[in-house]
Every structure is written in C-alpha cells, then in structure tokens.
Chain A
Amino acid sequence: MKPCNFIKCSNMSKLRIYQALIVFLVCVPQPGQAQKSDAAFTRYLQPATFSLSKIMMHDVVSPPVASRYYAYCILGAYEIVSQHDNTIPSLDAFITQYKRNTIATDKNSYDYRIASVYCILETGRLMLPSGYMLAEDEKKFITDLQKNKIPRKLIDSSVAVATYVAADIVNYSKNDRYGKLSAQLRYTPLKGDEYWYPTPPAYMEAVEPNWKTIRPLMIDSCSQFVSLPPVTFSKDSSSNFYKLAKEVYDVSIHPSQEQLRIASFWDCNPFAVATSGHMSIGFKKISPGGHWMNITGIAAEKAKLSFASYITAETIVGITLMDAFISCWDEKYRTNRIRPETYINRYIDIKWQPLLQTPPLPEYTSGHSVISTAAAEVLTYYLGDQLSFTDNSEELFEIPPRTFPSFRVAAAEAAISRLYGGIHYRDAIENGARQGKQLAAFVITKLQAAGIKPMDNPQLAADNRKP
C-alpha cells in the first residue's frame, strides 16, 4: 500500500471490498476464509498509523515524544486482538505495570479488527495535541465500513469497545511521568568546549532533556543499556576525536550521489528551519520512529500477515522504539557531546554547513543508530532476516523509494546515513547501533518468555501467496 493519496487507495480498495463482500454474503466465515477477510481490514492499518504521523508532523512532535504516541496508540489495538484470541499473550505479560481490563462486550457482537483500527485512531485523538483532527479520520473509517455494507450495529459495538480500550490505555499512559516533565528543570548547556551548544540556524533549545525519566514499557531502566564511552574530546589535530570530526568533514566535501541519497532518505527531521531574511519556514518530515512504523507496515503487507500478526508486528516495534528512545536520550544527556557542526565550525572550517540540519540535541549516541537497529532486530526476530522490501516512506517528501534485502541492512544504512548527513561522528553511530542491538536482545528475550513467537518463514509465505 502506498503511503499517500487516499483517492487511489479507495479506488483499489473498492475492488477488494466487492470481492470481500461477495465472500461475506455467500459464505459463513471459516478459518480458511479468515485471511481474505483479514485483508479487508489490514488495509486500514497503514493509513491509520499514517494519520497519526500526519498529526504529529502538524504538531511538530519531537522524535522521542512521537515514539511514545505510536507505542500507546498501537497498544490498545494489540490488547483488543489479544483479548479476542487467547493464543496471543496479553500486554500484562510483558508490559511494565500494565493491568488488563477485560472487555465486557460479547465477542460475537463486535469485530475485533474494526475495534482495533478504530482504537489506533481514538487513542491518537485522545492523546495528540491536535488529536481532534482524527475525528475526521474516524468518521471516514466508519463511512468506508458502511459503504462496504458492514452492519451499523457491528460498527457501533466495535467502536464502543475501541473507545473503552483507548480510554484504558490513556489511563495507563498517565502514570509514565510524561505529565511531570513540565515541572522539571530545563536544560542548560554545560560549560566546556566538549559540550553541546545549540546549533544554527535557529539555535533551538535541547529537545526533551528529561526524557530518561519516562517509564519504559519493557526495559528495566533508562540506563540499562549504557553505551560504551565516546572518544575523548580534543581540539588537538592529531587526536582521535579530531579525526572523527575530520571524517565527517571530508565525507561532506566529495559525497557520492548514493551517499547524498542515503543521507536524505534517513533525514527524518520533524522540523528543519530554513531562513530567508526575516522569514523562517519549517520543513516537516516524518520522525525516525514514524519511518520505522511505516516500514513495519510495508513488511507486514509484503509478508501478507494476518491482522493479528500485523498488529503484533506494529506493537513490538512500537514498544521497542519507545524504550530505545528512552535509552538513547539517557545517553545523550549523560554525555552532552558537542555536534560535528559546532566543532567543525570552531576548529576546522567556520563556513561549513552539514548536508542535513543538525537536530537540536546532544550528539552521543545517534538516535537513528539506536532505534533503527533495535527496531530492525525485533522485526528480524519476528519476520526473519530474509524479508526484502521497498521502502517508499519518504516519497511524500520527494525522496524516491529504496529497496533493502533485510531489516538489518536498512538499519545499518540508517545509522551510517548520519555520517553522510554531517550530524554524527562514527563512534556515536557504531556504539549507538550496539546499544540498540543490546536493547533489542533484551526485549526479544522478554517477548519470547511472554509467548510471542516468530512467524514461520514469512518471506516464503509471502512468495506463496502472491496474488
């Protein structure tokens, strides 16, 4: 499914709906038919997640905060699925401090898939600052269902379930100390040449310096995966640190086309400011977390996952992303390291500008390296190392799609892209990837223990089910 242009989507879907409708009218739903019926609903999942992304772009939500929204919005959907199917472990088997609240409604009087999709939107509507805009998407979803002759009564009861669970998730979210962030000390850059300072053009304040205080979903604490220490700072041109910075500089002088493409592809900066005189305009993009949620959807569709598996994939990625950001931000604000742009301007070339706009946060470790590696590991656990996919997440921003043979390759590219982009040193990338890998390993162990098992050969399955 392409991530844009709903007109095209619904045209295609009209055909599918008719097919599904015929099936629905003629046959009693049977296990063999479940996959087809599922497809009628899985096709709503990417658009629903993308609706969240749109709102977050509008609200200029920072990467860590975005990951929190994605995680909570998908948790409710997962909970609905797991309450429908008791082979799917409940959230309270692996999510910290979560207590299941059983859905009272009779299983047969609502469709768990409708409820699941609606729950994603409803949770977003309740949580996001401009969440009210999602009321429109909810209405469109219901209208679409009605157009496909799904009985009003079924829709209404499914919506009621979704509303119940969404409120429950929002309640759960209220204890993660997000609300206490505004009472905390704001960030003051440390004094010293080695420390981070705001960067041009807008010299924006450091983003979410207290993010490490947020309650993680699965890892034990924000500092559970402290990274290896960074290379020691030095202004000396013979030092290792200078060499790191020089590498960033040298790469930027003669980048290859491919390096430029890669840097742009993984930019994922929710708000890059361009100035012209007194005018400033913000260029918005999907955040790193949003990018990986989209990749998850692409992979799920490629692998023709059932609805429940699709949701599971999104959920384990969403959880991993949230915890990975908490871990990464803990490291960033422990080390408070200077950005390449600042260092290079001071000690190598005053006029140098990186290809990408330096995000307003300390440098070590690289966010993309940590979270992309973590997400890729979890996806590899669930869907295997052989699932190739074409990622068109950035098409909306006029960046052409890229094809990857596996999640790990994509993550490795996301990590190194930060060097090409001129915003990270190599050690932040390599150690960040290591940090992400360790975090994911921990998550995977817990998922396994909870009973979330990998899909059997998803690529093969995908190949077998080619339309």
Chain B
Amino acid sequence: MLAYEYFYNGGGVAVGDINNDGLEDIFLVSNMNENKLYLNQGNMQFKDITKEACKDLAGRLGGWKTGVTMADVNGDGWLDIYVCYSGKVSDDMRRNQLFINQGNGTFKEEAAAYGLDDKSYSTQAAFFDYDNDGDLDMFLLNHSVKKIDNMELASHRDEVDELAGNKLYENQNGHFVDVSKKVGITQNPLTFGLGICIADVNKDGWQDVYVTNDYNEPDYLYINNGNGTFRNVADKSLRYMSQFSMGVDIADFNNDALPDIVTLDMLPEDNRRQKSLQLQENYESFSLMVNQGLNPQYMRNMLQLNNGIMSPASGNKGEATPTFSEIGQLAGISSTDWSWCPLFADYDNDGYKDLFITNGYLRDYTNKDFLRYWGDYKIKKAMDREPVLLMDLVQVMPSTTLPNYIFRNNHNCTFTNEQKQWGMDKPVISSGAVYADLDNDGDLDLVINNINENAFVYMNTARETTKAGYLSLTLRYKKPNLFAFGTKVWVYNHGMVQYQEVNPTRGYLSCVTTKLHFGVDSASVIDSVKIMWPDRLVQVLTKVKANNLLTVNYEQPKPEPEPDDNPVYAAKPVFTPAANLFTYKHTDYSENDFKRQLLMLFMYSKTGPVIARGDVNKDGLEDLFVSGDKNRPGKIYIQNTRGSFYEEPGSVIGDENTSSIAAATFIDANGDGYADLYVAKGGYSLFEPNTPALQDELYINDGKGQLKVSTGLLPDVSASSKSCVRPCDFDGDGDIDLFVGGRVVPGRYPTAPTSYLLVNDGKGHFSISSTPFDHIGMVTDAQWIDLDKDGRKDLVLCGEFMPITVFMNTPSGFIDKTSTYFSSMPKGFWFNLTVADIDGDGNDDIIAGNLGLNSCIHVSEKEPGELYYADFDNNGSIDPFFNFYIQGVSYPFVSRDELNDQIYPMRKKFTSYAAYAQATMKDIFSKEELDKAGKLSVTETRTLLLLNRNGKLVPADLPMQAQFSAVTNVIADDFNADGKKDLLLLGNRSDNRLKIGSINSNYGCLLTGDGKGNFNYVSQPLSGLCIKGDVKSATEIKVNNTKYIVVGICNEALQFYKVQ
C-alpha cells in the first residue's frame, strides 16, 4: 500500500447464469491469487469449475485483479466475463481480460480480438447501450495511481491520461472502439474512479452514468444527451457529495419510480473511531475545494433522493436535469465506517428496497495518532541507531474489522440497522458483494468477497420464515442484447409502485444478477407489471401471480412508444417561476464566524437578504423593502399599477459595511397614516455589543413614500444582535408597539442576549418596558396571538436551545404560561414561528420551523443535546461545549484539536487522540466546573405543526420531507385553491461548522393540507419549485391580482414565483 495506494481495496464478485440452466453461478476475483468460477448445482451446492472452464480464468500470474462484470458481449445468448486489472506493474500485466462463453461450459480469453484488452489502471467495467443502437457498449472505470495534493488544478483538468482516465468504448459491429474524446467524458489524471453505476436517472430513455471519485476529485453524474455525448451535471443536480466516494448504487428506494443514488465513504458510526480520525476543521482548504469547482464534499455516505425533472412550464428548457435531496443522515445510513459496496434490494420482500453495505480496511492509517507516530518512531530509531523497518510501520496500523451493515427500509425515507436481527454481525473486512437468488426460493442471497478470509455466502431465510412473497423476472430481449440490459420495469401492487432497471453492474467492483427481484409482501396476485424494453416499446402484464420465477420474452407489443414515463411532466405545477418583478442579486461577505468563536455550531452573520412588505406610498399596492449587501444599502421597491416595481431613489436603508440588518417590518410608528420602517440590526461579524453597529433604526415616511432615518425615537437597543421584530398594540392604547428579539451577543455566544418590548408613546417615541422575557434566551422568532381569546394578544417566542414559550398578556404584565399550553414542551433550535388557522376551527395554529432530522445532531427527550458553557480557562472568552448522544452515551462534539485550540491547558490533559477519543464532559471538566457552568439543552430538531386544540398546543406530524432540511421561513396559504390551507416550507443552512456540513436538501417543500391538520408532500415537479440555496426571507405579494412569492436567498438572486 505504501507502493500502490489501492493495495487494500479488495476484489469484486459477479453472479450470473453462465450455462443458462436457471441457476446463478458465481465468479470471485482474487487480487493476487487465483480467481474462482463456481457453478451452481442447486440446493446451495457449488462446484469450482475454474480450471475446466478455462485455465486463464484464474487470472494472469503476477497480475492485480480488481473488478469483474458479466454481460453477453458478443450477443450470442451466453454470459461472458470481463475481468479488470490494475496495479503498479508493467503495461501488459494490466491488460483486462474478456472471457467469451463458448456455450459448452468453457470460456476463451479474447479481449484483444474485441479491442477490449485495455491496459489502463482499471477498477471496473459496465456494459450498456449508450447510443440506443441495440448492442452493448462499455464504460471502463479507471483510476490514477498518483494522488495530486495541489488543489489548484485548473490546467490538469484538460489533460488526458491514457492510463488513469475513464474510457467509453463503442460497440461497432462486435468490435469495441475508444470514443472517449468525442462523447465528452473526463479523462484527466485526477480521476480515482472506484464505483460505477448505469441508470436512466432523468427518465428520458437514454442511459446515464454515475462515477465516483476518491479524494478531492468530485463524482461525475453523466447525463446522456441522446446524441452520442454526455454532460456532467453533478454540480447542478447535487448540493454536495461524498468526499472519498467508494462504491455506488442507483435504485428507487422510496417507490416513486425515480432512481436514487447512494455513495459510500469512510465515516465511522461510533464516537471513538470518529474522534480518532478528526483533525482541526480546515475552512480554507474546503473553500479552495469549492472555488476550484470540486463541489462541496463531506466524508460520509450520501443518499441522494431523486426529486425528478421540472416540467417545461417550470421554466425547464428541455434540459431534463434532475435535482437530488441528500438525506443520508435522516435515513440513518450515513456512517458505516470505511465502506465499499452498497446494494439496494428488497431482502425481506416487503415491497421496499433495503440496503446492504460492505465495510472494513486491512490497515487503518487514517488514525490521527498514526499521523504523528511515524515522526516519533523515526526519531527513536535514529537515537537508538536502529534501522527503520517498514513492517513496523505497517503493523502499527490496526485492522478495522467490523460487521457489514444491513438496513431495513422503514417505508418513510428512513432505515433501521438490522445487523444483529438479520444475522449480519460477524466482523470481517469485506469489499465486493452481490445479491442473487442462489437457491431460487424467492428471496435474495448475498455473496461477499472478503480480504484475507473466505468469501461469505449468506442464505436469505425470508421465504422460510415469513409469508412475504416475491416476483422474479427474467427478461429476454432481442439479439444482440438478449439479457435485456437497459430494460425498465414497474410493478404496480396494491396502490404502490416499484421500479427497477436491468443494469447489473452496481455496488463495488461487482456485478449482480440480471434477474429483477421484487418483494410483494402478502399479495398473491400483482395488479400489473409494465416493461419498457430498450427500444422504448412497452409491454404490460396484468394480474400476475406472485411467488413466481417468471421469464418474459420480448413480444412486438402494440406500437405505443412512451417518450417518457413521467406523468407529472405535463401537469401544471402549483408555482411557476415568474419573470423578475425587479432584479437584485444579493452578494454576501464571505465571513467565517468560527474564526471568532471556534466552537459555535452555526454562524450568525448571514442575515440577509431581509424582505418586508408594506404599502409605502399608500396607493393600495404592496411594496417591498429588501436589505442591502456589501455593494449597496437596502432599498424600497414601489409597485406601480402596471405590475412592475421601481426603486425608490430617496430611501437608503442601512449600510451593510457598518452593520447588518437582521429583520424589518413596516409599521405606522407615529400614527400619521403612513407606513414607516423599523429595521432591527443583528449579525455577528466583528460587531461588539453596546456599539452603534447593533443599534436599530426607525425610518419615518415623509408622507410621499420616502423613508428617512430618524434619530431620537428609539432607546438604546444595541446590547445584542437581533433576530426579529414583531409589531402589536399589546396594551390596546391605539399605537403600535414592538417586540424585538435578541438573537446572540456577538463574541459571547451562548450567553443570553437582550430582547426588548418597545412601548410606543403614540408619536413614534419608543421606550423599553421591562418584562420577564428580557433575557429569556437566544430568540429566533416571535408571534403575537390571542391564545386565550381575551382580546389581548399574547406573545409566543421560540429560540435556540429554548422551548416554544407562551407569555400571556395580562393587564398586570406578561406571565409565562408555557406549561398550560404544552404538556411537554421540547427545546429545539427553532428558526421560525408562523401562525395560521390550519384546521379552520377559528383558532390560530402554529408552525415551528426547526433544524430537521437530516443532520448529525440527533436528540430526544431521553437523549438530549446539552451545551455547557463558561470561561473555563479564565482567559476572557466563553468556552461552549455541545454534547449529544451517540450509541447511548453523551459525547462532546468538539474534536481533540479543537479542544486544544480553545483551551490550551487541555493539551496536557489528553496527550493523544486515543486518550481523548472516549472522553465525556466529566472527563474534560471537574464536577465543580460543570456545576458552575451555564447549561442549555435541546430535545427536538423536527419542524412541528402545533394545532391549537382545547386550550392546548398539540404537536402534529408533518410529512418526512418537512424534516429534510432546516426550515427558516414558512408561508401558509391556500396555494392550490382547494379551500384548505397549505404550507410552503423554505430554508436551508450552509453556514455551519464543517463537521455538520451544509444542511440544504430543501428545494421548496410544498405541503398541501386537508383542512384537518394532515398534510401531503407535493413533489418538486408538481410544486414547480426548484429553490437552491439558503433562504433567509420569503413573502407573498399581490401584483395585478396575482399572488407571487418572493424568496430572498443568501448570495443569490431574488426568486419570484407566481401562484396558480
């Protein structure tokens, strides 16, 4: 491995019926020793026929074999075997081999004759028909053998490396020709291709290719342009990807007939191993990666849920590029340690695809103690005058022998780990793997290639122990593609659809069965099976008997070509992108708040753009305020009668170079009948509390629609950064008062900031009135609602590490009545509160936006997240330590390097990564220190609907899609004109700690309501929304009797959508 980096990457396995007897045979690759071909003799009996089949099958002596695939390359109806070679050996030792099935139990190696004896450093090959001309072409996945550390690689990207770059071979009458250059695939020396999978991800009838890349090079999602070329859409379709991507699988796991993608990486599940891998987070390195076009990449498994293609009505100019929402953490499959082969398949036959993952590494040198060990070792050896032994180095690296993972699909985008229950708990170092029904009993078995250990064959006992049924399809197409590669099948069963394609090369280095296996649970008859053959003609079978090994032959079906099977494509979406009512692109400062306080979880600087709606010139038309950025101040946009907007030149709001606008609202402050503008200052940057940077401003309307800043009307409210301003005549004296929420004290997170109740004297002079919520916590939002219907609006607050808190507005003041309204009030991150009568019962309900379930922070009442904070080392800065539970124990989030950087004396306490790896707060600080420290907790990260029922606010579930991302803005309205309130959830946060990464899998989540408090998720194509980025503000606005929504996105252009 010191000589050849991929020494420990393992070998592949292929399964297929090589003698057409209905039984699946197995080919196992050995890197250095002999490959093996096993003939399936039935009843789980296998015979080693390697020598008799062909002596070359064992592999070239001295060669290094990697991946294997099976395909009918010469189109004669018999499966051939293609074996890939790599390794730092001579060119000829690396020539790949093609074993042509002679039809009589023997094979002949003929790669050269077919033009496929490629000498690249090959990982795997996939056969597929890329140009839809009926024959199988081949994509060869290769890898470089020299990692380039320099990330400023612009000129490397245009190079062509003949041995490391991937290749596309076109089948031209049985001979394969390298057409890589003309098809547009990347062939530079930066590719470290480890995984490949073929699928039609945009359902346009042309096969697409996903290629993973280890190290800094991003993965490629090649969409087939249908004209013999591909385009890589990874940066458009994916928000981020696995960093050290290994294997990949593409399959529809949530049964919406759209293929989803899973890629594997190296993140361990347990705290101890995670801590031993963690160094300091490096923001500059990450930023360089992004700036060099390498995409954001994080080290964990990624589950990319296919959102589908937007319809032409959505402004999709026929590009047919799908978007994906990454939900691996929500799904619970993100951390399986050094992982290789993912395989989606219905292992328990309940109709939903489960997920199997192989993992393990022979020599684990990612351990950070090891990084430093080598230096000490060398010095010690020099001092002892002993030679350095490479084997000493190798032996110090431990083996990571872990059980492989198997996850059961819970039918709701989440998975449950079933390692123990399903018998997958034997620790082993595994690499390639496949599934197939080896004993033809109707459930899928697994064959796993292990390192320095026998291969495992796991027999599935589902059929023996459960009643769940299946349907197995063997598809026979026409020559030369008799095995029907590229065929698509939909199984419709009891209102559910399952979707699969015949593309057996998937996972890692391996090739699964060509048969399609569907679990059908308890059905005895399946409603229908729709088959779309490679020529796009469709064959439908109805009332198909379950528990059946069915062979379907291609029949010339009635000519009903379906150009695409996406029924939603033609439908009219709820929202359509509108032409800009006015143009504004927000330009962000690239600030990093973690440079000021290393251990916060999120940044607070990125507050803009802020939008507020009001009628500034009293013409009955709604106008907008949009805050500024580094290039310009905030502006007012006045709506004219023609439905367009113009910038009001005299109104200059704020200066983002000296302060940051965090919230704004129009109010008639001085009671003169004209809308004034209150602007709350917030952010973080380098602002200091009690300085002008944090002083709010009141802009008074001059009666002609111009807003001018006034002085002397506001008291000093500069003690903290603010988050929100909510107007209300809380004391019923006829003028508008304000609640201004304190968000954070810059530089002193998480000490409680100051929130204000500003009382209006009727003429626009405000004064601070002391309340019990002045220092309630880090408030993110508030709403005035008359909960007890006594005519006085009450104040509902939410905030970071706070419960949703209810303050009753009584004549004698505000009283905390949270416990009256909630039987249990969870503490969340709570970014937003929106009020609407969801169930039409006349009572206001609340939607509370939260962090969601798609992050590494998983908390509950029983296992809360806890933040301890104090100036533990008395150096003038607050040291906040966030802890959450991993596998039943609460561990600090902070890594050893971060701890040592925050509190220098800790360097003496934990002298190695191993020493720190299992430390809890009690090991880091003494009981006295912890008792004296401040403590905050969080027990809920889900966005919640709180229904106002019988004097209580009762949490109600929302669809799982609501938890895909942080929800920062919610608009409640009847968007689909069915008379019932719907919800539009917007959000995303990318300004988080690197270890948390971007939480941005929300593209605009539309939930339609049934009027009773239940909601349904509307798919992106049907909603018409494709909002990428961090949404900081959103509002509805009426223009020419049409409803629009305006969305403010950090560092992006404003987006406008028309509501149908």
Contact = CB atoms under 8 A, between A and B. Distances in A.
Interface of A: 4-6, 54, 57-60, 129-132, 178-183, 185-189, 197-198, 200-205, 271, 273, 275-284, 342, 345-346, 350, 395-398
A183 B875 contact: yes
B704 interface: no
A57 B284 CA distance: 26
B814 interface: no
B876 A183 contact: yes
Nearest to A270: B375
Nearest to B590: A191
A3 B154 CA distance: 46
Contacts of B382: 4, 395-398
A179 to B, nearest CB: 5
Contact of A198 (B285, B592, B902): B285
Contact of A203 (B288, B383, B911): B288
A284 B594 contact: no
A188 B904 CA distance: 21
B284 A180 contact: no
Contact of B379 (A185, A203, A284, A350): A284
25 contacts: A5-B384, A130-B908, A131-B908, A179-B904, A180-B875, A182-B875, A183-B877, A185-B595, A185-B596, A186-B596, A186-B598, A198-B288, A200-B150, A201-B150, A202-B149, A203-B282, A273-B371, A277-B1, A278-B365, A279-B366, A282-B371, A346-B152, A350-B154, A395-B382, A398-B382
Nearest to A128: B908
B877 A205 contact: no
Contacts of A200: 149-151
B595 A350 contact: no
B372 A178 contact: no
A129 B596 CA distance: 24
A132 B912 CA distance: 13
Nearest to B370: A281
Nearest to A271: B375
B907 interface: yes
Name B's interface SS.
loop
B382 to A, nearest CB: 5
Contacts of B686: 185
Most buried by B among A180, A183, A187, A275: A183
Given A205-B284, A279-B5, 12 more contacts: A4-B382, A182-B877, A183-B876, A185-B686, A188-B595, A198-B285, A200-B149, A278-B244, A278-B266, A281-B371, A282-B374, A284-B376
Contact of A283 (B6, B244, B374, B903): B374
A205 B280 contact: yes
B45 interface: no
B465 interface: no
Interface residues of B, number: 52
B375 to A, nearest CB: 3
A244 B6 CA distance: 40
Contact of B904 (A181, A201, A346, A397): A181
B181 interface: no
Given A277-B147, A284-B379, A396-B382, A182 B372 contact: no
Interface string B374-397: 111011001111000000000000
B871 to A, nearest CB: 9
B5 A276 contact: yes
Nearest to A57: B379
Interface string B246-273: 0000000000000000000010000000
B762 to A, nearest CB: 45
Contacts of B904: 178-179, 181-182
A95 to B, nearest CB: 23
B378 A187 contact: no
A35 B900 CA distance: 45
Contacts of A185: 595-596, 686
A281 B598 contact: no
B411 to A, nearest CB: 36
Nearest to A131: B908
Interface in B321-380: 365-366, 370-372, 374-376, 378-379
B901 interface: yes
A396 B379 contact: yes
B2 interface: yes
A197 B622 CA distance: 48
Nearest to A50: B383
B619 interface: no
Contacts of B288: 197-198, 203
A131 B280 CA distance: 23
What are the 5 A-B residue pairs with the smallest beta carbon separation, nearest first?
Answer: A277-B5, A284-B375, A201-B149, A183-B877, A129-B907
Interface string B150-167: 111111100000000000
Contacts of B877: 182-183
A276 B877 CA distance: 39
Contact of A186 (B5, B149, B366, B595): B595
Contacts of B374: 281-283
A132 B370 CA distance: 21
B562 interface: no
A396 to B, nearest CB: 5
A350 B156 contact: yes
Nearest to A3: B383
A206 to B, nearest CB: 9
A47 B702 CA distance: 81
Contacts of A283: 374-375, 378
Contacts of B371: 273, 280-282
B505 to A, nearest CB: 25
A451 B873 CA distance: 39
Given A183-B877, A280-B371, A283-B375, A130 B911 contact: yes
Most buried by A among B150, B152, B288, B594: B150
A276 B876 CA distance: 42
Contact of A350 (B152, B282, B383, B594): B152
B543 to A, nearest CB: 53
Contacts of B244: 278
A190 B152 CA distance: 17
Contact of A396 (B147, B366, B372, B383): B383
Interface in B1-28: 1-2, 5-6
A451 B379 CA distance: 40
A397 B382 CA distance: 7
Contact of B375 (A57, A132, A275): A57
Contacts of B150: 200-201, 345, 350
B367 to A, nearest CB: 10
A256 to B, nearest CB: 27
Contacts of A284: 372, 375-376, 378-379
B161 to A, nearest CB: 13
Given A200-B149, A282-B372, A182 B901 contact: yes
Contacts of B903: 182
Interface in B583-598: 592, 594-596, 598
A342 B151 CA distance: 11
